[in-house]
Amino acid sequence: MKYKEKKYQPVLVKEEVLLDYRVHQEKLNKNLKGTKKDYGIFFTPEWIIDFMVDLVDTGSIIDKEIYVLEPACGLAQFLIGIKKNKPALSKKAKFFGVEINQDVINYLKSLHIPDDIRIIRDDYLLWQSDLLFNLIIGNPPYGIPSSSEHYTIKVSPPTKAKYKRQYETWYGKYNIYGAFVEKSIRLLKPGGQLIFIIPATFMILDEFKKLRKFLSQNGGTAIIYMGPDVFKPEADVSSVVINFLKSAKFAKRLELLEYANGKVKTVKIATDWQGEVVKFETKYTKNIEDMCSYSLGEIYEIRISPRTSEIKNNPCVLVNISVNGKEYLPILNGRNLASNMIIYEPLTGYWIKKTEINKLRNFFSIPHIVVGLGFRKNGNVAAAKEEKCYPWMGDVYHLLRRNNLFGFSFDMSDSDVVEYLNSDYVKKYVKDMYREITYHLSITQLKNLPLPNKKEWGKIKEKWSL
Ligand SMILES: C[S@@+](CC[C@H](N)C(=O)[O-])C[C@H]1O[C@@H](n2cnc3c(N)ncnc32)[C@H](O)[C@@H]1O
């Protein structure tokens, strides 16, 4: 199959001069100010480009016709990086970049990059390629696609519906980078290599369970955890470099590695990965799991507070009015919650009539445990007993004790559980297991948190004096 020039109206960029990335990134960033976020435009630091280009396995590419693709190419930095650092491969390869944003392409056109790099203007997720590629490399956009102002990647409802139809890994509030990974794997030749820098969230969040399975079924996956600093201060996101080999022989192979101080070290290797959550187990986390007979989700039903958008649209909710304190209660959020303490003050500005709280969530009227989520900021899982039964909103979980078989044999009181959740033991468990992958615990992580009975809790404190 041959590349069809007319269909994609490629922009051919002339003259053989390499870019000085930093200058151009800054200039383009200034030019794009208003729309930068809508397209998820964050340029990759040059050292990361070099790091990723180093991972290209030139030895395994034996085809006569070699095709290299950078999706969401921006300034085509990866393609240029390959031309610079992999001259033998570059001599034989044909280079393609796909970019949706005309301003970015115009800027790129004004630069002097090698004219054998073809830039195609299209939405990568809807682009129909006639070629398969030996190597796909880059930094796709990140964000939840939506036309709503709450989300970063601006996509119209019909386009989003097309994405949903096309991508089998699409699930829940899917992040656009997941679809970029799926599309790229589909566009690889057998034996082809995909190298992307993406957020680390796909390792653990439920929205990516289909993507993890897709990866495990289609080849070998190496995940190099880079931590939260790569894109700072522009973006605060924990990232990984994923190095994927499309090959039936390597299906289910997973390597978890970690980058620190210029070195990469192996954390673990599995050959039977079926898309399970990818965690950093340590001796400590394994021991805590062995010592606990329960998980939090077995003893408690876990519910989340209504989101701000729901509160804003609820006709029973009033905003910043002078209310009769006897009839109304302030709606609380994460800022009202500290370790073992609830600050019953009107911090959100939202109020609701006492008699209407049940309309928001009926469990608000039952005494239960509330858990705040901001663990990455302070490393804490802040929990407290909610006995006054106030209404809540935002990122706060509610733990409602189940009446089940596990519950009967479980002898910790709610106060004991609150003490355990606020302890350094849980803090260390969460940090060891999930590093800084997300800002806060997901509901699944919370459900899976090991929970000891009284005797086990005593033994944990004896064994690990934190
Ligand atoms: C995270 S930036 C990466 C830019 C560049 N690859 C780099 O590493 O510096 C993502 C780029 O993808 C482009 N983009 C966003 N959505 C796209 C889509 N659906 N198809 C193609 N390009 C897209 C943006 O305009 C932006 O240039």
Its pTM stands at 0.85
**Is 433 close to ligand 1, i.e. is its CB under 6 Å away?**
no
Task: Note if the bond before 45 is cis, omega within 30 degrees.
Answer: no
Spell out a b/e string for 32-67, using b for 16 or more CB atoms within 10 Å of the CB, else e: beeebbbbbbbbbbeebbebbbeebebeebeeeebb
Spell out a b/e string for 385-395, using b for 16 or more CB atoms within 10 Å of the CB, else e: bbeeebbbbbb
Active-site residue, selected from the candidate residues 10, 114, 140, 306:
140
Per-residue confidence of the chain (466 residues) as pLDDT tens digits?
332 333 323 333 333 344 566 666 777 777 766 666 666 667 788 889 989 999 998 777 777 889 999 999 998 999 999 998 898 898 889 999 999 989 889 888 887 777 789 999 999 999 999 999 999 999 999 999 887 776 678 889 999 999 999 999 999 999 999 999 999 999 999 999 999 999 999 999 999 999 999 999 999 999 999 999 888 877 788 999 999 999 999 999 999 999 988 889 999 999 999 999 999 989 999 999 999 999 999 999 999 999 988 999 999 998 877 766 678 999 999 999 988 999 999 999 999 999 999 999 999 999 999 998 765 455 567 899 999 999 999 989 999 999 876 667 799 999 999 999 999 999 999 989 998 888 778 888 899 999 999 999 999 999 998 7
**Is 143 close to ligand 1, i.e. is its CB under 6 Å away?**
no
CA of 280 to the centre of ligand 1 (A): 30
Structure tokens at 275: 């898309």
CA–CA separation, 443 and 149 (whole Å): 25
Inter-residue contact 116 to 94 (CB < 8 Å):
yes
Strand order in the sheet with 328-330: 317-319, 350-353, 328-330
CA of 35 to the centre of ligand 1 (A): 12
Residue-by-residue DSSP string for 175-241: -HHHHHHHHHHHTEEEEEEEEEEEEGGGGT-GGGHHHHHHHHHHEEEEEEEEES-TTTTT----EEE
Is 51 a known active-site residue?
A: no
Question: In this structure, which topology does domain 5-278 adopt according to CATH?
Answer: Rossmann fold (3.40.50)
Determine which residue's CA is closest to atom 13 belonging to ligand 1.
72
Inter-residue contact 305 to 333 (CB < 8 Å):
yes
What are the sequence ranges of the domains in the chain?
Answer: 5-278, 285-463
Residues 6+ apart with CB under 8 A from 162: 126
Mutation to probe ligand 1, out of 19, 21, 39 (largest number of atoms < 8 A from CB): 39
CA–CA separation, 200 and 190 (whole Å): 26
Name the CATH superfamily housing domain 285-463: Adenine-n6-DNA-methyltransferase Taqi, Chain A, domain 2 (3.90.220.10)
CA–CA separation, 73 and 186 (whole Å): 18
Place of tokens 């930068």: 36
**Is 125 close to ligand 1, i.e. is its CB under 6 Å away?**
yes
Is 139 a known active-site residue?
A: yes
Closest CA to 215 of 265, 277, 258: 277
Q: How many helices (H) and strands (E) does the chain have?
A: 19, 23
The bridge status of strand 11-12 relative to strand 117-121 is antiparallel
**217: buried, middle or exposed (CB in 10 Å: 19+, 13-18, 0-12)?**
middle
Mutation to probe ligand 1, out of 25, 32, 42, 100 (largest number of atoms < 8 A from CB): 100
**Is 139 close to ligand 1, i.e. is its CB under 6 Å away?**
yes
CA of 279 to the centre of ligand 1 (A): 29
